[in-house]
Amino acid sequence: MRVLLVEDHKPLSKALKRGLEEESFAVDLAEDGEEADYKARSANYDVIILDVMLPKIDGLTLLRQWRKDSIQTHVLLLTAKDTTDDKVKGLNIGADDYLTKPFQLEELLARMRALVRRTHQKKDPVLRVFDLEIDTSARTVRRAGQMVHLTPREFALLQFLAFHRGKVVTRTMIWEHLYDEYDENTSNVVDVYIRYLRTKVDKGHEVALILTRWGEGYMLRGEEE
């Protein structure tokens, strides 16, 4: 999933980016309100992590303007410990969640995964497709009860397909949600990772779950296929 992290404190921003990337999130950074506004309007993010106190344009002003302009990306606010008013204002003008500094990375990750599930109207952290189980919290995959070992990028791709089960996702959609703005891979890397997934998820099973729609993209088998 692709995230915009808006934080002007560089040590914290660097640490959060590293932690998020280790969990297979693609992370773009913004250090002030103007940069955040430009990026939020230029790309499709699954979640925006937004610090309230920012140079140039503060986080609450940004959030208010985004909601006014119908930008519906989930926003998780980061607030200082004693700014209860900011939390209330943020929730009232359209924030989806908030965290008070200091916080643990594990809690941030849990809240972000919950927001991503909310986007796709999934309350259960375990996604089930025939005999495939994807645990989005534990980040484990099983097929017919057997563990499937995936790299972080493979897991992110499979999860993306599962969230859109039964619907074709284009290479562009996959690229926009799984890779950050500085990724230098070429577009055919999506096809490469699809092959990796097929080898690990479908090989040896009678029913193939990862399907190709020629000229359109890829999909995870729906109930009717």
List pLDDT tens digits, range 53-72.
999 999 999 999 999 999 99
For residue 213, count other CB atoms closer than 10 A to its CB. Answer: 12
- Band of residue 187 on the pLDDT scale cut at 50, 70, 90: low
Q: Please name which of 14, 30, 134, 121 lies closest in space to residue 74, comparing C-alpha atoms.
A: 121
Q: Please name which of 61, 143, 47, 134 lies closest in space to residue 99, comparing C-alpha atoms.
A: 47
pLDDT, one tens digit per residue, over 96-112 is 999 998 899 999 999 99
Question: What pLDDT does residue 122 have?
Answer: 72
Domains, the chain, with CATH or none: 2-119 (3.40.50.2300), 126-220 (1.10.10.10)
How far apart are the C-alpha atoms of 91 and 37, rounded to whole Å?
19
Q: Going by DSSP bridges, is the β-strand pair 47-51/217-220 parallel, antiparallel, or unpaired?
A: unpaired
Question: What pLDDT does residue 34 have?
Answer: 97
> Between 31 and 186, where is the model more confident?
31
Distances (CA, A) of 216 to 2, 72, 178, 182, 221: 22, 26, 18, 25, 15
- Band of residue 142 on the pLDDT scale cut at 50, 70, 90: very high
Q: In this structure, are residues 181 and 28 in contact, taking their beta carbons and an 8 Å threshold? A: yes
